[in-house]
Amino acid sequence: MIQIQLVGILLRKRLPDQALEEDTKLEYRLEIHRPGSCDDQECLKIFISTAPFLPLRIGDLLNASEWDRDASGWKLLRVLNVEHVISEKSSAGIDPSGGIIHRALIYTERVADNAQTRNRPQAAS
């Protein structure tokens, strides 16, 4: 769904007689922030893909036990908020291709790593 929305944005941005080029590069970044942080330098984990990630919603649980040792203090996280940043990558520098970057910034809180947390239903947001 996000890719479809990005294509719509790209088509509206271009002149009507220009088609979306097949080689337009889309990059997807899922940036998980440490609990209580919103600083780009304080990301707990960053995933990068050429395909969209499945959506994360407020209240979803993230199991960080398989991530880097820096995440060891945060084994189970709850999504507090999701922020989307869509930007154009500059066509200068080492990668002259340019493209579009969709960043999903995931803000979290630490929750108890137990069955009670996992089995408690979350209110629909």
Per-residue pLDDT of the chain (125 residues; tens, 9 = 90+): 444 444 444 444 554 444 445 556 889 999 999 888 877 777 889 999 999 999 999 999 999 888 876 655 678 999 999 999 999 877 666 656 668 999 999 999 999 888 988 888 876 55
pLDDT at 59: 93
Question: pTM of the full predicted structure?
Answer: 0.70
Q: Are 30 and 55 in contact (CB under 8 A)?
A: no
Task: Fill in the DSSP letter of residue 51.
Answer: S
Name the 3-class secondary structure at 119.
helix
